[in-house]
């Protein structure tokens, strides 16, 4: 049946955005800060298609939730295809494919759009753009420290100060050591426990503790490995727990030595993806109006092995444009919008058109961005249009200007 085309909605598809010039200007601003800071740390840009074979995400790389959230379809050649829900499997695939030719450590970044079938809500949409910055080939904590420093520097470049956000870090190595040595869990129990921890903030407290007890077979004794914990000394006597905790402490100390004071160990940071193997971190907005996770990442040293070759140490994070925009709005850190057009030329009558076009070309040759308003409407209306488009300057060309070959550049009063 042919649809009545006069009734097609002007709304975009659920959970995705249209970018009007003002919105795209904000997005371009966010991207420009991302690019400037990551490139200053020696990162090089890469990209790939939004389409990936679905197998890439089935190979144990992504959490169940992401598998449930993918946009997957069968193409005309009967291949199962997925719109990428994240970039990490793609970048791992690309690195694995050219591992012999590439120079390491390799620092790569990309700003892909990614798709997740989520319930749209504040900070969560079905399509977002995500800075991915990943370093490959550094096994030591230098990568952890440098990458978290990079994330911190991005926040500073947006104009944030340390009180606006906090960096919380944990370690999968430490969690696994606690699971194995302290709670003596087998692999299935450990995985079930980890999934519960990831959901902890969404569950009522008694439900969380009840479920944990079912999984581990006894009441939860501790998760937070701090001096306040009465079992601290006993836990730290276990070599794998001790080693992982000291490594985490050393990362926090190294970051503090760079002047990054808003970083702390938090046992509640789990991160959903199965591929993380070591340090994991997440950055939170401290403003109660937007108290949410802004972005996160971590170490994933085994992901490349799914492609059949050897594994390779890797550390990176994903920072979404939606959460960062909310953050910048909450803290009033967004620059006000100005059109990329510098000048609008308003023409009073058709006989002045040829001079107006000449002026436009001269100004363009001089590097200015110029639009010509060919409406021939009253000049006040043309200036109003410049104001609506946030164009900062205008020129009026009429008979007199055309004869004398002159013109004046005037400022558009943006508040009239």
Sites of contact with ligand HAM (CB under 6 A):
86, 88, 116, 118, 124-125, 128, 130, 132, 134, 293-297, 316-320, 322-323
Tell me which residue of 254, 298, 296 sits closest to 279, measured CA to CA: 298
Residue number, 59 or 237, with CB nearest to ligand HAM: 59
Q: Can you say how many angstroms the Cα of residue 297 is from the centroid of all Cα atoms in its chain?
A: 10
Cβ 120 to ligand HAM, closest distance in Å?
8
Cβ 130 to ligand HAM, closest distance in Å?
5
Residue number, 170 or 382, with CB nearest to ligand HAM: 170
Residue number, 62 or 254, with CB nearest to ligand HAM: 62
According to DSSP H, which parts of 128-238 are helical?
141-157, 172-177, 187-199, 205-216, 232-236
Residue number, 108 or 182, with CB nearest to ligand HAM: 108
Residue number, 267 or 274, with CB nearest to ligand HAM: 274
Residue number, 183 or 295, with CB nearest to ligand HAM: 295
Q: What is the distance between the alpha carbons of residues 108 and 102, in angstroms, rounded to a whole number?
A: 12
Q: What is the distance between the alpha carbons of residues 114 and 84, in angstroms, rounded to a whole number?
A: 6
Cβ 263 to ligand HAM, closest distance in Å?
17
Residue number, 265 or 295, with CB nearest to ligand HAM: 295
Count CB atoms within 10 A of the CB of residue 185: 20
Cβ 213 to ligand HAM, closest distance in Å?
28
| Helix or strand run (H / E) with residue 352 | none
Torsion on CA atoms 139, 143, 144, 147, rounded to nearest 10: -150
Residues in the chain: 416
Residue number, 292 or 377, with CB nearest to ligand HAM: 292
Cβ 200 to ligand HAM, closest distance in Å?
16
Cβ 256 to ligand HAM, closest distance in Å?
23
Tell me which residue of 23, 128, 44, 24 sits closest to 83, measured CA to CA: 128
Q: For residue 406, which phi and psi values (nearest 5 degrees)?
A: -130, 170
Tell me which residue of 324, 300, 323, 308 sits closest to 91, measured CA to CA: 300
Cβ 266 to ligand HAM, closest distance in Å?
15
Residue number, 245 or 299, with CB nearest to ligand HAM: 299
Cβ 172 to ligand HAM, closest distance in Å?
12
Burial track 286-304 (b if 16+ CB lie within 10 A, e otherwise): eeeebeebbbbbbbbbbbb
Beta strands 80-83 and 113-115: pairing type?
unpaired
Which residue's beta carbon is nearest to the bound ligand HAM?
A: 320
Cβ 357 to ligand HAM, closest distance in Å?
45
> What token pair was written down for 403?
């004869």
According to DSSP H, which parts of 41-186 are helical?
55-58, 64-68, 88-97, 141-157, 172-177
């Amino acid at each position: 049946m042919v649809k009545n085309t006069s009734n097609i909605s002007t709304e975009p598809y659920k959970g995705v955005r249209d970018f009007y010039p003002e919105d795209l200007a904000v997005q371009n601003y966010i991207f420009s800060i991302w690019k400037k800071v990551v490139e200053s740390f020696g990162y090089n840009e890469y990209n790939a298609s939004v389409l990936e074979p679905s197998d890439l995400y089935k190979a144990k790389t992504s959490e169940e939730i992401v598998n449930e959230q993918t946009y997957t379809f069968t193409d005309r050649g009967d291949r199962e295809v997925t719109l990428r829900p994240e970039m990490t499997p793609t970048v791992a695939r690309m690195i694995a494919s050219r591992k012999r030719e590439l120079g390491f450590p390799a620092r790569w970044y990309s700003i892909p759009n990614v798709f997740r079938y989520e319930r749209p809500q504040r900070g969560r949409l079905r399509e977002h753009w995500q800075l991915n910055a990943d370093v490959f080939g550094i096994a030591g904590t230098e990568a952890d420290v440098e990458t978290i420093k990079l994330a911190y520097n991005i926040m500073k470049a947006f104009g944030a100060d340390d009180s606006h956000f906090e960096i919380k870090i944990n370690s999968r190595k430490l969690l696994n050591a606690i699971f194995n040595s302290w709670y003596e869990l087998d692999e299935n129990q450990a995985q079930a426990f980890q999934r519960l921890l990831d959901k902890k903030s969404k569950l009522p407290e008694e439900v969380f503790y009840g479920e944990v007890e079912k999984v581990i077979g006894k009441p939860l004794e501790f998760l937070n490995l701090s001096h306040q914990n009465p079992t601290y000394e006993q836990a730290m006597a276990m070599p794998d727990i001790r080693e992982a905790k000291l490594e985490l402490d050393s990362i926090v100390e190294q970051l503090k030595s760079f002047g990054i004071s808003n970083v702390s160990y938090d046992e509640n940071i789990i991160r959903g993806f199965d591929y993380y193997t070591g340090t994991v971190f997440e950055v939170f907005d401290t403003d109660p109006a937007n108290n949410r996770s802004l972005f996160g990442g971590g170490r994933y040293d085994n992901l490349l092995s799914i492609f059949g070759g050897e594994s390779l140490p890797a550390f990176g994070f994903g920072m979404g444009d939606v959460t960062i925009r909310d953050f910048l709005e909450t803290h009033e850190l967004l620059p006000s919008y100005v059109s990329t057009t510098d000048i609008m030329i308003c023409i009073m009558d058709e006989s002045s058109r040829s001079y107006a076009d000449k002026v436009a070309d001269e100004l363009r040759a001089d590097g200015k961005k110029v639009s010509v308003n060919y409406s021939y409407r009253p000049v006040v209306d043309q200036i109003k249009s410049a104001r609506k488009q946030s164009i900062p300057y205008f020129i009026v060309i009429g008979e007199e200007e055309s004869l004398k070959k002159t013109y004046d550049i005037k400022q558009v009063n943006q508040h009239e």
